[in-house]
């Protein structure tokens, strides 16, 4: 499948995944210092969905996300400096240090917000799609959500409205099998397919392996083309897996909600390793190029953490600035 995609695109996909992974792992390593003043939900293991989807979006397309938003923001072109500053609660953060990890907003790159409320940005992203229709522009709205959000009433209300109005919205479901500590099997019937359920509502829908960056990229490309032709919304469900605990920097396989064997089986499907091996097998990248890529990312991350730590905190008198419409 890699033969159909430009080599520079493939390298960019790999770079984006590795950058997200390195950032999340750096946050996990440094979190215990106590300088990051907010809860954080890391997306280690799920990088392929963010990278593959956002590679098909334009700068003027909108994105809304979940509490696990770091990868989506970076893949959409967000500033690493500003994201880390936000997590550190600094004034230079993309939300001026007032939102933290779960409330990232950066309109300069079309990242219109993430939220800690499960399903909270689904109607927001749908509304953005409605605004595109009303303004008769040709960009689209991308809504990232988890499998748990498909159990919220607002999910069905939003999809119904998007179908009814043929809105230019792409819904991306990252099905990582768990809603916090509750497995999918205790929340939904075993025979249910989320993508097929959405299809039964009247929306175009597909499912795929969320750890295969090539398939994610191709599926997203096809869905985006479908939407830009004015054919209405599209839903993509990607099977993936988070490595670390639901909230925080640690691993939590010891508390009993998932097994070590399951965790290891998913780690063996590491999207970055799979992509690297595919590219090396086809002589599309070599060891030296990968080393240079890694070094560039690590330098970028070190500089970003330095920026965050050295940035000032918000002024007390600005505590309510931009919180309420004047």
Domain ranges of the chain: 2-309
At residue 6, φ and ψ (nearest 5 deg) are -55, 140
Instruction: Determine contact, residues 1/215, Cβ cutoff 8 Å.
Output: yes
Question: Residue 96: what pLDDT?
Answer: 92
The class of domain 2-309 in CATH terms is alpha beta
Q: Which burial class, exposed, middle or buried, applies to 116 when counting CB atoms under 10 A from its CB (0-12, 13-18, 19+)?
A: middle
pLDDT truncated to tens, each residue of the chain (326 aa)? 566 899 999 999 999 999 999 999 999 999 999 999 899 999 999 999 999 999 999 999 999 999 999 999 999 999 999 999 999 999 999 999 999 999 999 999 999 999 999 999 999 999 999 999 999 999 999 999 999 999 999 999 999 999 999 999 999 999 999 999 998 888 988 888 999 999 999 999 999 999 999 999 999 999 999 999 999 999 999 999 999 999 999 999 999 999 999 999 999 999 999 999 999 999 999 999 999 999 999 999 999 999 999 999 998 888 778 776 66
Stated length of the chain? 326
Alpha carbon distance 31, 249 (integer Å): 7
For the beta carbon of residue 108, count every other beta carbon within 10 angstroms. 11
Question: DSSP alpha helices (H): ranges in 136-212?
Answer: 153-165, 194-201
Let me know how many helices (H) and strands (E) the chain has, helices first: 11, 8
Rg value, the chain, Cα: 19
Query: In this predicted structure, what is the pLDDT of residue 1?
Result: 57
Model confidence pTM above 0.85? yes
Task: Count Cβ atoms below 10 Å from residue 92 Cβ, excluding itself.
Answer: 20
Q: From the centroid of its chain, how far is CA 54?
A: 9
Contact assessment for residue 108 and residue 136, using Cβ atoms and an 8 Å cutoff: no
Contact 76, 110 (CB under 8 A): yes
CA distance 178 to 184: 6
CA distance 25 to 27: 5
């Amino acid at each position: 499948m890699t033969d159909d995609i430009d080599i520079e695109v493939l390298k960019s996909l790999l770079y984006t995944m590795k950058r997200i992974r390195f950032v999340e792992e750096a946050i996990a390593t440094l979190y215990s210092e106590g300088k990051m003043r907010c809860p954080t939900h890391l997306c280690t293991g799920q990088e392929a969905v963010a990278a593959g989807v956002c590679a098909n979006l334009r700068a003027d397309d909108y994105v809304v996300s979940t509490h696990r938003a770091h990868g989506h923001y970076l893949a959409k072109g967000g500033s690493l400096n500003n994201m880390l500053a936000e997590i550190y609660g600094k004034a230079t953060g993309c939300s001026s240090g007032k939102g933290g990890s779960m409330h990232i907003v950066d309109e300069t790159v079309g990242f219109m917000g993430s939220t800690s409320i499960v399903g909270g940005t689904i109607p927001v992203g749908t509304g953005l799609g409605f605004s595109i229709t009303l303004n008769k522009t040709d960009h689209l709205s991308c809504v990232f959500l988890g499998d748990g959000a498909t159990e919220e009433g607002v999910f069905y209300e939003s999809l119904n409205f998007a179908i009814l109005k043929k809105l230019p919205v792409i819904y991306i479901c990252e099905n990582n099998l768990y809603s916090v500590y509750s497995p999918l099997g205790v929340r939904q019937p075993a025979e249910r397919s989320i993508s097929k359920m959405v299809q039964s509502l009247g929306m175009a829908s597909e499912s795929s392996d969320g750890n295969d960056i090539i398939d994610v990229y191709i599926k997203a490309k096809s869905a985006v083309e479908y939407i830009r032709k004015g054919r209405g919304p599209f839903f993509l469900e990607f099977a993936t897996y988070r490595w670390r605990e639901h909230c925080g920097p640690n691993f939590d396989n010891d508390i009993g909600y998932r097994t070590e064997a399951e965790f290891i089986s998913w780690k063996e499907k590491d999207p970055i390793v799979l992509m690297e091996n595919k590219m090396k097998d086809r002589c599309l990248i070599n060891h030296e190029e990968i080393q240079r890529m890694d070094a560039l990312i690590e330098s970028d991350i070190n500089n970003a953490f330095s920026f965050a730590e050295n940035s000032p905190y918000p002024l007390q008198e600005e505590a309510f600035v931009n919180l309420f419409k004047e």
